[in-house]
Amino acid sequence: MARTTPAARVTTSAGQLKYKAPSSAEWRNLFVDAKAENQELENKNVKASFEALKDSLLTSLQMQNLIILTGCGTSRSAGGPTMLDLWKAAIGTPPSEIAVQVAGTIKYDLATPAPNIEDFLSRCDAYLQIEDDLAVKGLVEHSKKEILEKCSSFLENKELDGHKTFLHRLSRRRVRDSRLKIFSTNYDLCFERAAGEIGLVVIDGFSFTQPRFFDPRFFCYDIVRRPRSSEDQGSYLEGVFLLYKLHGSVNWAHTPEGRVVEKQNPEPSEACLTYPAKGKYQQSFLQPNLEMVSQYFAALREPNTCLIVTGFGFNDDHLAEPILSAVRSNPHLRLIIADYAAEDFINGKSGPSRYWKELADLSREGEDIWFINASFSDFTKLVPDLKSLSPADKLMKDIKNITGGR
């Protein structure tokens, strides 16, 4: 069977597979343009682009600290809901009678060409601060119930090949390096389930006993392989990573005693979720969100750090602003941003937030920022296997780099 080359994957959901390196204004194609006049030269250029990106990613993944920030784009690859899906579930298509009534109360135009569940719930929250309206309160509770259900049910009988490939390759870091840290804004259990299916261990801030309860001290714990004799030294267990769920999880619940515990199918009223609304910035100062965000801030300040952002649209100011600040203040930070519409966002064609343009400007000025126009599924295939090179292969590669390939 012929081997499929990466160049065969010519498009993502929004455009072609390509990347842009720091200090460069040009995008380098990772696909072969069939319209190119010189196909031999085109193939050679694409191959060179792949090799350059692979080398950069391989170096990045071997940096002392590796942190990942993921958003809803990673869950969409497994069939997760979009923000529009959440709008349809909560408001209805066409809008339900109660939604029309509440929209009139809070002065929200349901006929907007770009419906936004976050804006709608933000309006509801603001209105409830000054008026105790049962209809508004009821629709908010209904919306939370629908969001909780939508973010829980889609995983039934779903394959998580992208998540499993991503975790498998990244978890093979050297055990002497810091543990892989994944910060996710998603409520779902994609990473937890994928890790379980391939035998990885997740440290998520919850106890190792039942019922599992949240305590930030568990993030300081690690797992070692116990020696067979007292003369042997223990060693860190491979395949362990830390998972920080910045906006909560579908299986977290508040208890009357003030604890956060792991619970299957919690009620919307007890679910520990930061629902999509502008108030989520304020909620980030409450536990367990406070601990998650604090760890996120601290990770961005560490030296010799690579931050990979995938499936995150930079719409959350309380998470995007620290990245911009870290790029400007941490000289040892490398930032890699992978998104299916990265080129469009940078060019302002879709422009979800100002951070895309600001980061693109900093990249052109020489900051260590890479952009990859790829969906999460495509990006996982670009991530190099950290054990793909034997020591001899790596030595030969280093010699070629020093001698210019001679």
Nearest in space to 200 (alpha carbons), one of 242, 233, 159: 242
Neighbour count for residue 286 (Cβ, 10 Å): 11
Query: Mean pLDDT in the chain?
Result: 86
Q: Which pLDDT does position 283 carry in this prediction?
A: 57
Mean pLDDT to the nearest integer, 159-167 = 92
Task: Of 234, 228, 252, 229, give the one whose Cα is nearest residue 152.
Answer: 252
Q: Could you tell me which residues are beta bridge partners of residue 306?
A: 66, 334
Could you tell me the CA-to-CA distances from 248 to 20, 188, 217, 309, 348 in Å, in that order?
Answer: 33, 9, 17, 19, 31
Percent of the chain predicted with pLDDT > 70: 87
Rounded CA separation 2/77 (Å): 26
Per-residue model confidence (pLDDT) at position 387: 66
**Average pLDDT score over residue span 123-135:** 91
- pLDDT at position 353 is 77
Is the pLDDT at 120 greater than 50? The verdict is yes
Q: Phi and psi of 18, rounded to 5°?
A: -160, 170
* CA–CA distance, 302 with 37 (Å, rounded to integer): 47
In this predicted model, what pLDDT tens digit does every residue of 99-113 receive, in sequence order? 999 999 999 999 888
- Model confidence over 249-289: pLDDT tens digits? 999 999 999 899 999 989 988 988 887 765 555 555 567 88
Q: In angstroms, rounded to a whole number, what is the distance separating the alpha carbons of residues 301 and 327?
A: 10
Rounded Cα distance between 404 and 402, Å, is 6
Higher pLDDT, 272 or 114: 272
Q: 326 is written with which tokens?
A: 């870290």
Tokens standing for residue 268: 């919307």
**Structure-model confidence comparison of residues 251 and 235, the more confident one:** 251
Query: pLDDT digit string (tens) for 130-154?
Result: 999 999 999 999 999 999 999 988 8
**Distance from C-alpha of 307 to C-alpha of 186, rounded to nearest angstrom:** 18
Per-residue model confidence (pLDDT) at position 63: 93
Confidence band (pLDDT; 50, 70, 90) for 316? confident
Per residue in 64-108, pLDDT (tens digit) is 999 999 999 999 988 899 888 999 999 998 999 999 999 999 999
Give ranges for CATH 3.40.50.1220 in the chain: 6-79+159-246+284-393
The 10s digit of each residue's pLDDT in 367-384 is 999 999 999 999 999 998
The pair of structure tokens assigned to 114 is 């770009």
CB 318 within 8 A of CB 292: no
Of the ranges 262-271, 332-341, 391-400, which one carries the lowest mean pLDDT score? 391-400
Is pLDDT of 40 > 90? no
CATH topology of domain 6-79+159-246+284-393: Rossmann fold (3.40.50)
